[in-house]
Amino acid sequence: VNDDIIGLDGSVDRKETHRAPYVKGTFKVPKNFPVSKITSSDEMTITAELANGQVYVLSSAWLHGEANHNAEEGTVDLEFHGEEGDYQ
């Protein structure tokens, strides 16, 4: 990730910061899905099929933070981080 660095003299530069690859989204989880698998696993493979037809695969993944549920809509906001992420 590139971040801006603005000097007091008006100069502009950048610094590169590395971060874990991730997939973030709002998901519909079936009633009988074993939620404990999502919250306790740390070696998952997450496959995201995007609306434009691209496929992103995150490997050696874990749930980052908490699973935030929306009871009214039956959805959950999840963010997965992993060791490797790449488009297929």
CA distances from 75 to 25, 40, 83 (A): 10, 19, 26
> What is the spatial distance between Cα 50 and Cα 7, in angstroms, rounded to a whole number?
39
Please report which confidence band the pLDDT of residue 1 belongs to, taking 50, 70 and 90 as the band edges.
confident
In this prediction, residue 13 carries a pLDDT of 96
- For the cut 90, the answer to whether the pLDDT of residue 35 exceeds it is no
Region 22-37: mean pLDDT is 90
Please report which confidence band the pLDDT of residue 64 belongs to, taking 50, 70 and 90 as the band edges.
very high
In this prediction, residue 26 carries a pLDDT of 95
- For the cut 90, the answer to whether the pLDDT of residue 78 exceeds it is yes
- 5 domain-assigned: no
In this prediction, residue 47 carries a pLDDT of 97
Total number of domains constituting the chain: 1
Residue 66 sits in which domain range? Answer: 20-87
In this prediction, residue 61 carries a pLDDT of 98
- 9 domain-assigned: no
- 11 domain-assigned: no
- 28 domain-assigned: yes
